[in-house]
Structure 1
Amino acid sequence: MITGDARDAEDFTPEEVERGRALRRGQWPPVLAGRFASLLLLLALGLTPAGAALVGLFGDAWAARIVGGGLALVLLRQLVALPFAARVRIVRTRFGLVTQGWGGWAVDVLRGLLVSVPLALGALFAVYALAGTTSRWWAWTALGAAVVTVLLSWLAPVVLEPLFNRFTPMEPGALRDALLGLAARDGIAVRDVLVADASRRTTALNAYVSGFGRTRRIVAYDTLLTTAEPAEVAQVVAHELGHVKHRDVARGTAFGALGAAAGVCLLAAVLTWRPLLDAAGVDHFSDPRSMTLLAAVAAVGSTVTGPFACALSRRTERRADAHALRLTGEPAAFIAMQRRLAVANIADPRPPRPLHVLFGTHPTTAERIAAARSWARSTGASERSSGATG
């Protein structure tokens, strides 16, 4: 029986495999610890009178409590998460994955707050305004959550993405023509091919297709273009075109909207449970002092549903991989790209199963390479076995 390590040895050197495992062992403990600390903070505030007291510090006025309490909640979560995020960054810097200085990282954190704070405050104002005026607040809130999910999906490529990266049109040439030709052969209208200045932050490789209709564009990291062969870049883009072809963004948006609406309904049912309100030190949910309880219950729900979302994501990614193989008919280039991505991103080709099931959004590198080889055998396509990289 051939072990996983033996199969990985066909594609990676022992040093590359160990490097991926070392990064995984270094960064996952603070990642998990940060998530646990954030959840613990919300539970401590939401399931005790401490949260209500915190919001009450901002006076008796309804609006002041929402603004002050909401801002305090967002900032406290950020402060709790920062040490763990910094530790992850230190680990990734030691492995050569981070190129951005601490000042740039701090600016990115502030940019993130500039996005998250207005969204959080807007949501709190809407929820508590409805909760204070109608007994069917949950129905209107569910509808609003679904609409906001759809709007953010549409606006993110043109409003949010430029806040964190600069995009420039790819220079005319063979690669640009090849990528546009690939999209045309797939029957997908693409407006342009852009290059993201990812090298300001990282050495990791990536590409994606974003936007809808007239805003749809292929985006490639500059790190990918300076590292990978053109045929390998085409494989990444073909995979991303697979998401477009199967309407994964639209499906994901619809699924997210339905999930958000269902989540609100479930939250409403839980948040009217008297023992929880008593634990939080509030008489009724419409009191803005209950916002920490709302955040705690939402965080628990997100934690519980996370593995299911990851499983759905892995299924979607496997389908996009299959699409890339069918579109290009080049399993050798697909395998070479998976090798390059794993080595450049310092990925563990075969991470521990529990970790992957709970948090993995993509198939493992070993699974993706095995699927490509299986496809090659079933179709008779050429697949070179060039041995370990390096």
Structure 2
Amino acid sequence: MLAGMDDFTPDQLARGRALRRAQLPWALGSRAVGLLLPLALGLTPAGAGLVSWAGGLFGGSRTAEVLAGVAVLVLLGQLAGLPFGARLREIRRGYGLVTQGWGGWAVDQLRGLALSLLLGLPLGYGLYVLTDRSPDGWWLPAAGLAAVLVVLLSFLFPLVVEPLFNRFTPLSEGELRTALLDLARRDGIRVREVLVADASRRTTALNAYVSGFGATRRIVCYDTLLTTADPRETELVVAHELGHVKHRDVLTGTVLGALGTALAVAVLGLLACWPPLLSAAGASSAADPRSLFLLAALGALLSTAAGPVQCAASRRIERRADRHALELTGDPEQFIAMQRRLAVTNVADVDPPRWVVLLFATHPTTAARIAAARSWAAA
């Protein structure tokens, strides 16, 4: 038995495996549809036909085709993912992980759709302005602008997007708030405040995170964590999150994300100018709005190929944050207790198959994290 597995009862292990097996076909199906739908529309004239049809509803101008095509692309993506998201939600509700009603879930979907359109429409319009001005070299300024946008969104996300989906209130004065702020001070990290997110409206899962940069940085704890975990366990969760700040993981991730996005746009630009692909998509050039679904298909391919690499990098970063939490608190036993509570409450499979880890896992397995804590203590 892998080290860390004996920290759980057979029933707890079986429950985590059962949830993983129930979710996996739907998670894989969602991934498959998210890739195959853009390919089917982007590598055939079907996508070009949709753009022409949607644009024709609004006058048939180039601008109408661009904006209507982007709207259709966003709507199709949202609709294609709905059955899988709904089924996964129902499975998780059966395990007591979902507290939100269907009405609240539907509102969240509409908020996500509105946000996607709010971002997608001006981005799509701006992209085709660039392609119109420079059909062959549009990707160069587009890559630079995409990198800037990644940095901007990383800064604005905790201030603008997070409040759309959760309400945040300051953690009341008391021992826990003092302990968390002291933890940040010992770590040499400036934290503006400690907030409580009303996650219990949606889930019973436990979590905490540190968001924002500089003067906007704050510790955010799920209310489920504060009402379920011991104060010392909450400190361990926050210590892990402070590790990301200490090692500048958010800043590094933002910079790498900006560079990766710029590179992806450059690759898209080169591929989208390839005549065989344009011919298959029914578009005359990258400046033709009918190339929209071709760009989406190529983007989906790049994203799918990068997924396992991103997961591997994330797992490495999370292992480093775990070590930071152990070094900051010097409490491996409480760290193990915290990992056990998170796994049991979140109904995690503590040791899933290797291929599942490679495809989906952004964190090390619970068994691996517990084993690493014991190795740290022994060393």
Fold conserved (TM > 0.5)?
Answer: yes
Q: CA deviation at 1:64?
A: 0.6
One-letter identity of the residue aligned with 1:120 = G
Letter of the structure 1 residue corresponding to residue 186 of structure 2: R
- Partner of 1:381 in structure 2? none
Residue 136 of structure 1 aligns to a residue whose secondary structure is: coil
Counterpart code for 1:180: L
CA separation in 2, counterparts of 1:114 and 1:78?
Answer: 11
What secondary structure, in the 3-state scheme, does the structure 1 residue paired with 2:372 have?
A: helix
Distance 1:35 1:103 in 2: 25
Of 41, 45, 49, the match for 2:37:
41
Deviations 1:215-261 (A, max 9, x none): 10000000000000111000000000000000000000000000000
Structure 2 portions without partners, runs of 5+: none
The within-5 A match list for 1:161-200 is 161-200=162-201
Match of 2:116 in 1: 116
CA–CA distance in structure 1, aligned partners of residues 307 and 320 of structure 2: 20
What per-residue deviation string (whole Å, max 9, x for no partner) do you get for residues 31-70 of structure 1?
1101211211111110100100000012230111111111
- In the alignment, the residues of structure 1 paired with residue 96 and residue 202 of structure 2 have an alpha-carbon distance, to the nearest angstrom, of 11
| Distance in 2 separating the partners of 1:244 and 1:263 | 27
Match of 2:270, as an amino acid?
A
Distance 1:122 1:361 in 2: 31
Whole-angstrom distance in 1 between the partners of 2:6 and 2:360: 26
Alignment partner of 1:24 is 2:20: yes
Shift of 1:319: 0.4
AA partner of residue 91 (structure 1) = I
- SS at structure 1 position matched to 2:194: strand
Q: Tell me, what secondary structure is at the counterpart of 1:220?
A: strand
Give, in whole Å, the separation in 2 of the partners of 1:302 and 1:234.
35
Give the match for residue 105 of structure 1. Answer: 105
Q: Counterpart of 2:51? A: 55
1:271 counterpart letter in structure 2 = A
| Paired position in structure 1 for 2:211 | 210
Contact 2:166/2:199 (8 A) holds in 1: yes
Q: Which residue does the alignment assign to 2:92?
A: 92
Residues of 2 paired with 1:202 and 1:358: CA distance?
A: 24
Q: Residue 10 of structure 1: CA displacement? A: 2.1
- Secondary structure at the aligned position of 1:284 is classed as coil
Is the Cα contact below 8 Å between 2:239 and 2:329 reproduced in 1?
A: yes
How far apart in 2 are the matches of 1:44 and 1:9? 43
Q: CA deviation at 1:121?
A: 1.4
Amino acid at match of 2:30: G
The one-letter amino acid of 2:144's match is L
Match of 2:64 in 1: 64
**Secondary structure of the corresponding residue to residue 194 of structure 1:** strand
Partner Cα distance (1:121, 1:147) in 2 = 18
2:38 and 2:224 mapped to 1: Cα distance?
A: 38
Give matches, 1:304-343, under 5 Å.
Answer: 304-343=305-344
Residue identity opposite 1:111 in structure 2: R
- Corresponding residue number in structure 2 for 1:155: 156
The one-letter code sitting in structure 2 at the alignment partner of 1:266 is: V
Once the two structures are superposed, residues 354-383 of structure 1 have per-residue CA deviations (whole angstroms, 9 ceiling, x without a partner) of 0101211000001100000000000xxxxx
Deviation at 1:198, TM superposition (A): 0.2
User: What is the CA-CA distance between 1:118 and the residue it aligns to?
Assistant: 1.7
Partner of 1:382: none
Letter in 2 for 1:98: V
Moved over 4 A (4+): none
> Could you list the per-position Cα deviations for residues 301-326 of structure 1 after superposition, in whole angstroms to 9, with x for gaps in the alignment?
00001100001100100000000000
1:377-388 equivalences in 2 (<5 Å): 377-378=378-379
Residue of structure 1 equivalent to 2:75:
75
Asked if the contact 2:4–2:370 (Cα under 8 Å) also holds between the matched residues in 1, the reply is no
SS in 2 for 1:361: coil
- Displacement of 1:89 after TM fit? 0.5
Cα offset for 1:9?
Answer: 4.5
Gaps of 5+ in 1: 379-390
Alpha-carbon displacement from aligned partner over 1:322-363 (angstroms, at most 9, x marks no partner): 000000000001000000000000000000100101211000
Q: What secondary structure does 1:168 align onto?
A: strand
SS of match in other structure, 1:10: helix
Shift of 1:136: 2.3
How many equivalent residue pairs?
A: 374
Q: Which residue of 1 aligns with 2:144?
A: 143
2:215 and 2:34 map into 1 onto residues whose CA distance is: 39
Q: Distance in 2 between matches of 1:63 and 1:132?
A: 11
Report % sequence identity. Answer: 62
- For 2:210 and 2:373, the matched residues in 1 are separated by 22
Report the TM-score, using the length of structure 2 for normalisation: 0.98
Letter of the structure 1 residue corresponding to residue 216 of structure 2: T
- Secondary structure of 1:78's aligned partner: helix
Aligned partner letter, 1:84: F
TM norm structure 1: 0.95
SS in structure 2 at match of 1:243 = helix
> What corresponds to 1:266 in structure 2?
267
Cα distance in structure 2, aligned partners of 1:43 and 1:37: 10
